[in-house]
A and B are shown apart, each in its own frame.
Chain A
Amino acid sequence: ELKVEQNPLFLSMQEGKNYTIYCNYSTTSDRLYWYRQDPGKSLESLFVLLSNGAVKQEGRLMASLDTKARLSTLHITAAVHDLSATYFCAVDGDSGAGSYQLTFGKGTKLSVIP
């Protein structure tokens, strides 16, 4: 059974600081996703990482994937209040091209304090 663990689950940080969210998964996978969820809202796709060593950046967020270590990181640079949200990583452990039977981590609730 595929397990996905995120840490930390809660993160309170000051504006301007840097921090990293970690996502470990338990089985071989070549597709890892990062999503953002605002309270009461749906999931917004942030990054799709498809190969070992993949690195993607968008604004103050940068995601990387190490398939050998079964680890992905989401790095936040110089945090701003607008980044406050819950961040999920998800792994597709299955199931062939075109399927999205994702296993999600429990999420990291990020609060950026002015």
Chain B
Amino acid sequence: EAGVTQSPTHLIKTRGQQATLRCSPISGHTSVYWYQQALGLGLQFLLWYDEGEERNRGNFPPRFSGRQFPNYSSELNVNALELEDSALYLCASSRRGQDLHFGNGTRLTVT
């Protein structure tokens, strides 16, 4: 079974630009979660998508947004990038009520 796949592995952007991160869940998983792992801040919940809809979001500004496609893959968009957005972004997927599986992450660097 293929795991959760994220792309790109690394992304370098300059302040003010937009970043798009992608996630493909495990086959059969309908829920996708995004987490940010920033240095000094730890892992923080960002967004939860299930069956194509945003179900909840963490304490992040609106410039963090995303969507889930009909095939359950997901995209995370970060607009107007700030230096503090530099972090490892982890995507995870699950079936409802089943275990959570994490991808290898996208390391975003904002210069």
CB-based contact A100/B92 at 8 Å: yes
Judge if B70 is at the interface, Cβ distance under 8 Å: no
CB-based contact A104/B99 at 8 Å: no
**What chain A residues lie within 8 Å of B99 (beta carbons)?**
45, 48
CB-based contact B94/A100 at 8 Å: yes
Of the listed stretches B41-49, B61-69, B78-86, name the one at the interface; the rest are far from the partner chain: B41-49
Which of B31, B42, B103 counts the most chain A CB atoms within 10 A? Answer: B42
Total A-B Cβ pairs within 8 A: 54
Q: Determine the main DSSP class of A at the interface with B.
A: loop
CB under 8 Å from chain B, chain A span 36-68: 41-45, 48
Q: Determine the main DSSP class of B at the interface with A.
A: strand
Contact count band on B: 20 to 34
CB within 8 Å for A106 and B42 given contacts A42-B90, A98-B97? yes
CB-based contact B56/A99 at 8 Å: yes
Please, which residue of chain B has its CB at the minimum distance from the CB of A97?
B97
**What chain A residues lie within 8 Å of B31 (beta carbons)?**
98-100
Tell me the B residues contacting A by CB distance below 8 Å: 31, 33, 35, 42-45, 48, 50, 55-56, 58, 90, 92, 94-97, 99-105
Those 5 A-B pairs whose CB atoms lie nearest each other, nearest first: A98-B96, A104-B43, A43-B102, A42-B102, A98-B97
Q: A42-B105, A102-B35, A104-B42 given. 15 additional CB < 8 A pairs?
A: A42-B102, A43-B102, A45-B101, A94-B56, A95-B56, A97-B96, A97-B97, A98-B97, A99-B56, A100-B33, A100-B48, A101-B56, A104-B44, A107-B42, A107-B43
